[in-house]
Amino acid sequence: MTAAPPIIAEPPAALPAPGVRAQRLGQWRRLPLKAKSGVILLGFFVLAAIIGPEVAPYDPGYQNPAPSLVMHPPDAAHLLGTTQTGQDVLSQLLTGIRLTLELALIVGVVATALAVIVGVSSAYLGGVWDEVLSLVTNVFLVIPSLPLLILLLGYQPSRGQEATILVLSALGWPWGARVIRAQTLAIRGRDFVAAARETGESTWRILAIEIIPNEVSLIAANFVNTVLYAIGASVALAFIGLADLSSWSLGTMLYWAQSQQALQLGAWWWFVPPGLAVALMGTALVLLNTGIDELGNPRLRDASRAARIGGRRQWPADPTPVLHALPPPRGKLADFVHSFSRSSLLDGGSGARSPLERRGGKT
Amino acid sequence: MKFILRRLAFYAVAAWAALTLNFFIPRAVPGNAVESIMAKFPTLQPSAYRALEAMLGVGHPGSLWHQYWAYLNDVFHLNFGTDLIEYPAQVSTLLAQTIPWTLTLVGTATVIAFFLGTGLGIVAGWRHGGWLDRGLPALMFLQAMPYFFLALILIELLAIRAHLFPIATGYAGGLVPGWHWAFIGSAIYHALLPALTIVITSVAGWMLQMRNVMITTIGEDYVVAAQAKGLPNRRVVFTYAARNALLPQLQGFGLALGFVVSGALVMEIVFSYPGIGLLLLSAVTSNDYPLMQAIFLVITFAVLLANLIVDLLLVAFDPRVRARETG
């Protein structure tokens, strides 16, 4: 990917130490802001998932029998308050982030692998294979996933983590497969693939060495999307009770909060933290994906900084400004004063806007 | 016509796939509905097994092929069997009671969100880097929020704290559903908050997509040419850029619809809205398999139908599709 680096105004101060580290730092600095904030936010949650259950102050399932701890608002001992049964919300949250993120990452890996297999083989093999695989992909794309997930999971004898991962992975691949198929079709016709085929390389080698490495950014974006889908779907499924309700995930927390009337009893500290965690994780992933998009397509980048020409904001969508047609960036009084100066001779009139500009640029 | 026929054939295949999945899932998983009910009510005598089988229609009389045809025939006649929980009630009656609620609410809110999001996306894409465009990360946060969580927050803030909206259900208690103003007004009043939830969470998605396509479209030569001709901005934006950028947006609408509907179903639960989502919850919590299956079919068919409508709109909007058809 040749992502055009944005114009860097600062002098290359990192030159004295042109090591790998400095280079990496430069790459990081060049990332779009959205990608950076996505990475940082996501990193925070990954950290919480790794160390969370170890630093959790209480056992998330421990029901403190003290009557004063029934739905206690946040205080020093319980930073996020307690539930109806005296359980510590913070501990549940820290455990829940790990479980939810773990599930989403596994689903992301499995479903993305499926998407790559289906997409690449569909496009590369072509013919009947392509027709059949595309049809299956499109059918699964158009069937709404949640009701099908509910049906599949509802019939499972156990509704634990493994069953959820299985079902979510089984339905999470079609979108990626479609995108990857399109990309493979585009790459397949390129000269270097033809050259590889002419030199007699095996199909597997062409797929693994020539084609898939060229789709890495697409696969990465798809992985992020799938993780996003897995978080949303698993939380929704747990929220309606289709999960192992004795484990602590963000979804089961919300399930218990809803079923034990946290809302009606005004215990906002019970349902806001898990919901907010889901929303923030989702935001991080969306930001990351937008960042990846912008890296690949510089046109999408934020262009608000370089857009002042002749004292007037120029939008990227505007036609190239003709300096002469620009209205002078002055008020009426300043205009009047300016008309006495020598440079006003260049304006071609006493500061009046050109008729072209006034009528919205109509010829 | 060719394009429409092809799409019709595709939706027929999709519908058939959904029907077949629906037929095989109960037969493919270990254990069955009868066993789960027996496990749920330990007081049932073993002799009840046959009776339950007959009631559910899972006794598998005849060959698989025979069962399959009988099943298709049943679905064709909208006979989804007898409900387990509200026992003598037919599943189709339960569905008929709830579908209008969901259809009105989700349909209206989705259309509003689509137009609002597309409009905002046009502005954000045209004024790329403007305040609306830079506000996108905030909207992404709303989009990443699960529907039901936003519903919880809105109820807490607007219904419980501010008393602006009713907390739950579809209409005020004591009213008899019917075509009179007291009921309709109450129903609309109760639908405002759920509709607001759908609009807020889904508007960002439409907006983001429209913005991205818009930005790419604005770079196209024909837009530059239109500007070079000196056409007014309004005309360039709407007739040249937005009209073309709308096509991928419309295609995306069909695919995103399943997502929106799924989210809206779960949201209904929070509002105790008397639609399909609430029915689905009761089906899940009580292992009501016939109901779950019927709901899956109904929702799938609704989404397929909506997709077909979108395809027809595409034909109307995109001259290239029409040209391909005649040629």
DSSP string, A172-227: S-HHHHHHHHHHHHHHHTSHHHHHHHHTT--HHHIIIIIIGGGGHHHHHHHHHHHH
Contact at CB, A232 and B30, closer than 8 angstroms:
no
Interface of A with B in 266-325 (CB under 8 A): 266, 268, 271-272, 275, 278-283, 285-287, 290, 293, 297, 299-300, 302-305, 307, 315-319
Q: Distance (Å, rounded) from C-alpha A48 to C-alpha B13?
A: 45
Among A90, A242, A239, A50, smallest CA distance to A154 is for A242
Three-class SS state of A312: strand
Q: Does A279 contact B13 at a Cβ distance shorter than 8 Å?
A: no
Please indicate whether, in this complex, the C-beta atoms of A154 and B287 are within 8 angstroms of each other.
yes
**pLDDT at residue A183, rounded to an integer:** 83
Residue A112: per-residue pLDDT: 92
- What's the gap in Å between the CA of A200 and the closest CA on chain B? 38
User: Among A260-264, A303-307, B215-219, which stretch is predicted with the lowest mean pLDDT?
Assistant: A303-307
Mean pLDDT across B136-150: 78
What confidence category does residue A111 fall into, taking pLDDT thresholds of 50, 70 and 90?
very high
Q: Which residue of B has its CA nearest to A274?
A: B149
Alpha carbon separation from A117 to A132, A179, A302, B267 (Å, rounded): 14, 12, 35, 35
Mean pLDDT over residues A69-94, rounded?
73
Q: Band of the pLDDT at A3, cuts 50, 70, 90?
A: very low
The amino acid occupying position B196 is L
Q: Cβ–Cβ of B232/A361 closer than 8 Å?
A: yes
Query: Which pLDDT value is given to residue B324?
Result: 64
Mean pLDDT of B264-274: 81
B:233-262 residues touching chain A, CB 8 A cutoff: 233, 241, 254-255, 257-259, 261-262
pLDDT at A312: 60
Residues 136-155 of chain A whose Cβ lies under 8 A from any Cβ of chain B: 138-139, 141-148, 150-152, 154-155
Cα separation, A291 vs A272, in Å, equals: 28
pLDDT per position as a tens digit, A216-271: 878 888 888 899 889 888 888 888 888 777 788 888 888 888 877 777 777 777 78
Contacts of A155 in chain B (CB under 8 A): 25-26, 29, 31, 33, 289
C-alpha distances (whole Å) from B165 to each of B125, B154, B158, B169, B192 are: 35, 10, 6, 11, 8
- Calculate helix-pair angle for B289-317, A127-142, nearest 10 degrees: 110
Return d(Cα B68, Cα B64) in angstroms, integer: 6
End-to-end CA, chain B: 11
Contact by Cβ (8 Å): B198, B113: yes
Q: Which of B8, B11, B284 to mutate to test the interface with A (most CBs of A within 10 A)?
A: B284
- Note every long-range contact of A272-275, with CB atoms under 8 Å and residues 24 or more positions apart, other chains counting: A272/B153, A273/A80, A273/A89, A273/A90, A273/A93, A274/A92, A274/A93, A274/A96, A274/A250, A275/A250, A275/B145, A275/B146, A275/B149, A275/B152, A275/B153
Contact A279 B141 (CB under 8 A): yes
Is the pLDDT at B60 greater than 60? The verdict is no
CB-CB neighbors (< 8 A) of B228 in chain A: 319
CB of A131 within 8 Å of a chain B CB? The answer is no
Q: Look at residue A356 in the predicted model and tell me its pLDDT.
A: 43
- Note whether A299 and A317 are within 8 A (CB): no
How many helices and strands (H and E) does chain A possess? 14, 2
Mean pLDDT value of segment A207-213: 82
Cα distances from B104 to residues A62, A103, B97, B108, B274, in angstroms, run 44, 35, 13, 6, 12
* Predicted pLDDT of residue A188: 81
Binned at pLDDT 50, 70 and 90, residue A106 comes out as very high
CA dist B13 → A32, B4, B294 (Å):
43, 14, 19
Q: What angle do CA A303, A309, A310 make, to 5 degrees?
A: 160
Is B121 in contact with B242 (CB distance < 8 Å)? no
Task: Name which residue leads in pLDDT, A106 or B257.
Answer: A106
**What SS3 state is found at A308?**
strand
pLDDT at A147: 83
- Tens digit of pLDDT for each residue in A44-54? 888 888 887 77
Identify the top-confidence range among A103-112, A336-345, B16-25, B242-251. Answer: A103-112
Going by pLDDT thresholds of 50, 70 and 90, the confidence category of residue A352 is very low
Percent of chain B beyond pLDDT 70?
79
Helix axes of A250-259 and A216-239: crossing angle, nearest 10 degrees: 30
Q: Which B residues, 46 through 65, put their C-beta within 8 Å of a C-beta on chain A?
A: none
Is pLDDT at B296 greater than 80 in this prediction?
yes
CA angle A290, A295, A301 (to 5 degrees): 70
ipTM of predicted complex: 0.78
Lowest mean pLDDT across B10-19, B207-216, B249-258: B249-258
Residues of B in contact with A298 (CB under 8 A): none
Torsion sign over Cα A41, A43, A46, A50 = negative
Name the average pLDDT for chain A. 75
Tens digit of each residue's pLDDT (9 = 90 or more) over B308-325: 888 888 888 777 777 765
Of A34, A281, A299, the CB nearest to B137: A34
**Mean pLDDT, residues B284-295 taken together:** 78
Q: Which residue type, as a one-letter code, is found at position A362?
A: K
Is B263 in contact with A278 (Cβ distance < 8 A)? Answer: no
Q: What is the pLDDT of residue A94?
A: 85
Q: For residue A200, what pLDDT is reported?
A: 84
**Model confidence at A343, in pLDDT bands (50, 70, 90)?**
low
Is A193 an 8 Å CB contact of chain B?
A: no
Mean pLDDT of A302-329: 57
- Angle (CA) A306 A311 A314, round 5°: 45
Closest by Cβ to B266, choosing from A139, A239, A297? A239
Which of B1-4's residues contact partners 24+ apart within 8 Å by CB, and which partners?
A: B1/B325, B2/B324, B2/B325, B3/B311, B3/B315, B3/B321, B3/B324, B3/B325, B4/B311, B4/B312, B4/B315, B4/B325
Poorest-pLDDT segment among A72-76, A95-99, B240-244: A72-76
Q: What percent of chain A has pLDDT over 70?
A: 68
Q: Give A223 to chain B, closest Cα distance, Å.
A: 16
Give the C-alpha separation, B127 to A313, whole Å.
11
Residue A349 has pLDDT above 50, yes or no: no
Instruction: Give the pLDDT mean for B67-92.
Output: 70
What would the mean pLDDT of A35-39 be, rounded to a whole number?
82
Beta-carbon separation of A151 and B22 below 8 A = yes
Q: Is the pLDDT of residue A110 over 90?
A: yes
B177 CA to chain A: closest CA distance, Å? 26
Q: Are the beta carbons of B304 and A142 separated by less than 8 Å? A: yes
Which residue's structure tokens are 């289906």?
A118
Which pLDDT score, from 0 to 100, does residue A68 have? 67
Nearest-by-CA chain B residue for A156? B29
In this prediction, residue B40 has a pLDDT band, given cuts at 50, 70 and 90, of low
Q: How many CB pairs under 8 A join A and B?
A: 200
pLDDT-based confidence at residue B82 (cuts at 50, 70, 90): low
Average the pLDDT over A151-173 and give the result. 80
Quote the pLDDT of residue A191: 85
For the ranges A64-73, A177-186, A227-236, B207-216, the lowest mean pLDDT is seen at: A64-73
Q: Residue A282 and residue B21: Cβ atoms within 8 Å?
A: no
| pLDDT tier at A317, thresholds 50, 70, 90 | low
Contacts of B224 in chain A (CB under 8 A): 319
Residue of B7, B128, B285 to mutate for A, most A C-beta atoms under 10 A: B128
What are the tens digits of pLDDT across the range A323-336?
A: 555 555 667 777 77
Please check whether residue B134 touches A, CB under 8 A.
Answer: yes
For residue A350, what pLDDT is reported?
41
Nearest by CB to residue A155, choosing from B25, B146, B257, is B25
- Across the interface, of A236, A304, A319, the residue whose CB is closest to B146 is A236
Indicate the average pLDDT of chain B.
Answer: 77
> Tokens at residue B211, please?
């913005």
Q: Report residue A358's pLDDT band, with 50, 70 and 90 as the boundaries.
A: very low
Provide, as residue numbers in chain A, all residues whose Cβ is less than 8 Å from the Cβ of B133.
Answer: 302, 304
B:79-108 residues touching chain A, CB 8 A cutoff: none
CB contact under 8 A, B29 and A155: yes
**Which tens digit of pLDDT belongs to each residue from B165-182?**
777 666 666 666 667 777
